[in-house]
Amino acid sequence: MRALLCAAALLVCTQAHAAIIAQAENNAGGHINLTDEQAGCPATQRLAFSTSSTGEVTTGCWWGSNDYIWVRYISGSIRAYKPGLFYFNTNKKGT
């Protein structure tokens, strides 16, 4: 059920043109992307998605706490990332 909800959130997010506000390289040859869209995540979290060099996309929800950026992926795994790994987009949505 959770996987279906996150997949639906990604679809909604794609249609709503969610802004990627931060991005980091990952070990899979892709990126971890943090968006500004709630898209099915709890109220204090926003949609995240991770890509790989093979084109695989994994969705989840992210939040900041205790000097880390946390991502709970649809697989159930939770990862903590240091904010310094991310490049933050300071442009506002629509600009």
Q: Does 95 reside within a domain?
A: no
Q: Does 75 reside within a domain?
A: yes
Task: Name the more confident of 63 and 14.
Answer: 63
Q: What residues make up the domain containing 63?
A: 2-88
Q: Does 70 reside within a domain?
A: yes
3-state secondary structure 2-52: HHHHHHHHHHHHHHHCCCEEEEEECCCCCEEEEECCCCCCCCCCEEEEEEC
Q: Does 25 reside within a domain?
A: yes
The pLDDT > 70 percentage for the chain reads: 77
Distance of CA 77 to the CA centre of its chain: 13
Q: Does 37 reside within a domain?
A: yes
Task: Name the more confident of 35 and 2.
Answer: 35
Q: Does 36 reside within a domain?
A: yes
Q: Does 22 reside within a domain?
A: yes
> Which pLDDT score, from 0 to 100, does residue 16 have?
55
pLDDT for residue 2 is more than 70: no
Averaged over 58-74, what is the pLDDT? 96
> Which pLDDT score, from 0 to 100, does residue 3 have?
54
pLDDT tens sequence across 4-21: 455 555 554 444 568 999
Q: Does 53 reside within a domain?
A: yes
Domains contained in the chain, number: 1
